[in-house]
């Protein structure tokens, strides 16, 4: 359901941006940042100031984006450097079972005496890494399919669209579940593959629509007239102008990759020896962690998932607000404020 509701917003951003981009066809393709900088309200990037400053302005232009960005940076840092600082094997068993948090075990231990904090740090690494990797893969596939359908049109479009629409109808989680159950081997790759197979249709549809509207713009026509080959037209003429919609799609794909993989692993479709947030929850649930009162085993991984997903959706909402000022929570108009102040003054006088 949330996916369904996000899509129209993404399309809306794309429309706003696309009209704005019409005048800036030459903006180079570097990172998503440049595309986002063209969102109205952010201002055009200064040519001398450097990428870093532009990037900083985008991060700080909206409070939601700022908060989300720093949460994600925190988790990325933990997943890069965390395992270097934790000198404990997350799978090492010990005799100290189900210990509550203490100085020695910051987040207590599991039923088999593993250190929950060490598991959480390693779990963060693999969940974040695989989440982003899967999200990127889903985005690339939907990009290729969407571009092809939108640009070539005709029979190609008809066939691809039929295929996409059918896949949109087939519910993703149950299909992923059945696929994962039938896969001959279990593990992180299986979970990731299954999510890639089931996750592409929504983004593909959005990108197709956008490409369709882009196909007959003047700059594409002129590229065609210049005899540029199809790959160049697709990937260096059309693609850069869809960057913002692709970024929104990418963020959505990463969220759903992380949440879906945790869900699949929670049901037991992962490999129990892989340390991830999902398998931690699976083992905790199977070990009856809650009913043994071992909240320190089951709460932290769940909270991590919640924070990462919330941060990513904050970024998406924030970008949405920048693109569509109507959605911002408006400060009160001056008149109302003056009225309120007058009222307060009156009350004060009455009290005095």
Partner 1 sequence: MRYLLRRIGFYLIALWASVTLNFLIPRLAPGNPAEILIARFQGRIQPQALQALELQFGITNQPLWQQYLTYLNNTLHGNLGLSITYFPSPVTTMLAQELPWTLGLTFISLLISFILGTFLGALIAWRRGTFLDSLLPPVFSFISAIPQFFLALVLLYVLGFMMGLFPLHGGYDNFVTIGLNPDFIGNVLYHSILPAVTIVVVSLSGWMLGMRNAMVTTLSEDYVLMAQAKGLPESQVMLRYAARNALLPNITGFALSLGFVVSGQLLIEIVFSYPGIGFALLQAVQNSDYALMQGIFLCITIVMLIANFLVDLIYVVLDPRVRQTRS
Nearer Cβ to partner 1 (51/337): 337
- The answer to whether residues 40 and 62 touch, using CB atoms and an 8 Å cutoff, is no
Per-residue buried b or exposed e for 30-44, using 16+ beta carbons within 10 Å of the residue's own CB: eebbbbbbbbeebee
- The answer to whether residues 259 and 313 touch, using CB atoms and an 8 Å cutoff, is no
**Residue 26 contacts partner 1 per CB under 8 A:** no
The least CB distance from residue 329 to partner 1, in Å, is 5
Which of 98, 133, 173, 212 contacts partner 1 by CB under 8 A?
A: 173
A 10 A CB-CB count for 165 gives 11
Which is it for the CA torsion 26, 30, 36, 41, positive or negative? negative
Which 233-272 residues touch partner 1, going by CB under 8 A? 255, 259, 262-263, 266-269
Q: What distance in Å separates the CA atoms of residue 299 and residue 26, rounded to the nearest whole number? A: 49
**Residue 5 contacts partner 1 per CB under 8 A:** yes
The least CB distance from residue 253 to partner 1, in Å, is 15
Nearer Cβ to partner 1 (205/240): 205
**Residue 329 contacts partner 1 per CB under 8 A:** yes
Binding mask 48-77 for partner 1 (x = CB under 8 A): ----------------x-------------
Which DSSP symbol is given to 240?
A: G
DSSP sequence for 181-238: HHSSS-SHHHHHHHHHHHH-HHHHHHHHHHHHHHTTSHHHHHHHHTT--HHHIIIIII
Nearer Cβ to partner 1 (234/281): 281
The least CB distance from residue 161 to partner 1, in Å, is 10
Binding mask 331-350 for partner 1 (x = CB under 8 A): xx------------------
Q: What distance in Å separates the CA atoms of residue 46 and residue 339, rounded to the nearest whole number? A: 41
Which of 55, 106, 129, 183 contacts partner 1 by CB under 8 A?
A: 183
- Estimate the crossing angle of helix 116-152 against helix 295-323, to 10 degrees: 30
The residues of the shown chain that bind partner 1, judged by CB under 8 A, are: 1-2, 4-5, 8-9, 64, 162, 165-166, 169-171, 173-175, 177-179, 181-184, 255, 259, 262-263, 266-269, 281, 285, 290-291, 295, 298-299, 302, 305-306, 309-310, 313-314, 317, 326-327, 329-332
């Amino acid at each position: 359901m949330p996916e369904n509701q996000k899509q129209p917003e993404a399309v809306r951003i794309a429309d706003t941006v696309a009209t704005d981009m019409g005048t800036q066809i030459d903006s180079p393709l570097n990172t998503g940042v440049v595309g986002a900088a063209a969102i109205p309200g952010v201002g055009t990037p200064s040519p001398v100031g450097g990428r870093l400053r532009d990037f900083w302005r985008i991060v700080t232009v909206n409070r939601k984006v700022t908060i989300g960005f720093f949460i994600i940076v925190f988790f990325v840092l933990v997943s890069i450097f965390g395992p270097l600082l934790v000198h404990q094997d997350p799978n090492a068993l010990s005799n100290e079972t189900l210990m509550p948090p203490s100085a020695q075990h910051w987040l207590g231990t599991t039923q088999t005496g593993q250190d929950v904090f060490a598991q959480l740090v390693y779990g963060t690494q693999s969940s974040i890494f695989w989440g982003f990797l899967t999200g990127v893969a889903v985005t690339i596939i939907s990009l290729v399919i969407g571009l092809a359908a939108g640009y070539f049109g005709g029979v190609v479009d008809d066939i691809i669209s039929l295929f996409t629409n059918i896949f949109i109808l087939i519910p993703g989680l149950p299909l992923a579940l059945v696929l994962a159950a039938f896969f001959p081997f279990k593990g992180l790759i299986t979970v990731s593959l299954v999510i890639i197979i089931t996750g592409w249709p929504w983004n593909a549809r959005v990108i197709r629509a956008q490409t369709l509207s882009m196909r007959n713009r003047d700059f594409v026509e002129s590229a065609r007239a210049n005899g540029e080959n199809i790959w160049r037209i697709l990937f260096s003429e059309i693609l850069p102008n869809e960057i913002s919609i692709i970024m929104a799609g990418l963020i959505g794909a990463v969220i759903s990759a992380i949440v879906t993989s945790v869900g699949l692993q929670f049901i037991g479709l992962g490999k129990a020896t892989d340390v991830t947030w999902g398998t931690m929850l699976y083992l905790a649930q199977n070990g009856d962690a809650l009913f043994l009162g071992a909240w320190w085993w089951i709460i932290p991984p769940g909270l991590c998932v919640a924070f990462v997903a919330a941060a990513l959706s904050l970024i998406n909402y924030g970008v949405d607000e920048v693109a569509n000022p109507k959605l911002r929570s408006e400060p009160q108009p001056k008149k109302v404020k003056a009225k309120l102040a007058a009222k307060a003054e009156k009350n004060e006088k009455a009290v005095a």
